[in-house]
């Protein structure tokens, strides 16, 4: 028990307090804004992360969201698509093509809409806790 507490205290020492709280960083990520200034956009076109913030110049090169947001989106959208398919099947008993016509847009649009905020949150958390792979003077500044 004491070892867990000591580990948590060591982790908390690595986080430098600033005017931005954890909730502020989460909101920045959810709105796909820069975690440093909260104004610049993280994404350029579609799901491509910009090289740097157009407002404050924070480099996003080392902030990689990886597969975490994709896995979470798969779970959320999969549950939503399954629920919609079950409701349609048991309430209306339609032909199979109706399921395809309904499921494809739900899965495609849902995945696209949920991936941006999830990637934004992941980048904001990497910024907050400085979990980046390269050293740069402009990374992790709080």
Q: For the chain, what is the mean pLDDT?
A: 83
Convert 45-108 into a string of H (helix), E (strand) and C (coil). CCCCECCECCCCCCECCCCCCCCHHHHHHHHHHHHHHHHHHHHHHHHHCCCHHHHHHHHHHHHH
Per-residue pLDDT of the chain (142 residues; tens, 9 = 90+): 555 444 554 544 454 445 578 899 999 999 999 998 999 999 988 889 999 999 999 888 888 888 999 999 999 999 999 999 999 999 999 999 999 999 999 999 999 999 999 999 999 998 888 766 555 555 555 4
Q: Are 81 and 106 in contact (CB under 8 A)?
A: yes
Q: Rounded to an integer, what distance in angstroms lies between the CA atom of residue 4 and that of residue 79?
A: 35
| 3-state class (DSSP) for residue 31 | coil
pLDDT in tens, 30-66: 999 999 899 999 998 888 999 999 999 988 888 888 8
């Amino acid at each position: 028990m004491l070892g867990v507490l000591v580990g948590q205290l060591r982790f908390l020492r690595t986080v430098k307090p600033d005017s931005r709280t954890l909730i502020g960083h989460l909101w920045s990520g959810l709105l796909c804004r820069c975690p440093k200034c909260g104004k610049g956009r993280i994404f350029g076109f579609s799901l491509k992360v910009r090289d740097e913030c157009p407002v404050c110049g924070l480099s996003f090169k080392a902030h990689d969201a990886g597969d975490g947001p994709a896995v979470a989106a798969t779970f959320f959208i999969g549950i939503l698509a399954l629920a919609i398919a079950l409701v349609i099947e048991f309430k209306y008993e339609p032909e199979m093509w109706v399921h395809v016509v309904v499921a494809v847009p739900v899965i495609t649009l849902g995945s696209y809409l949920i991936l941006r905020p999830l990637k934004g949150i992941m980048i904001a958390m990497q910024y907050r806790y400085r979990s980046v792979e390269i050293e740069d003077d402009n990374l992790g500044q709080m």
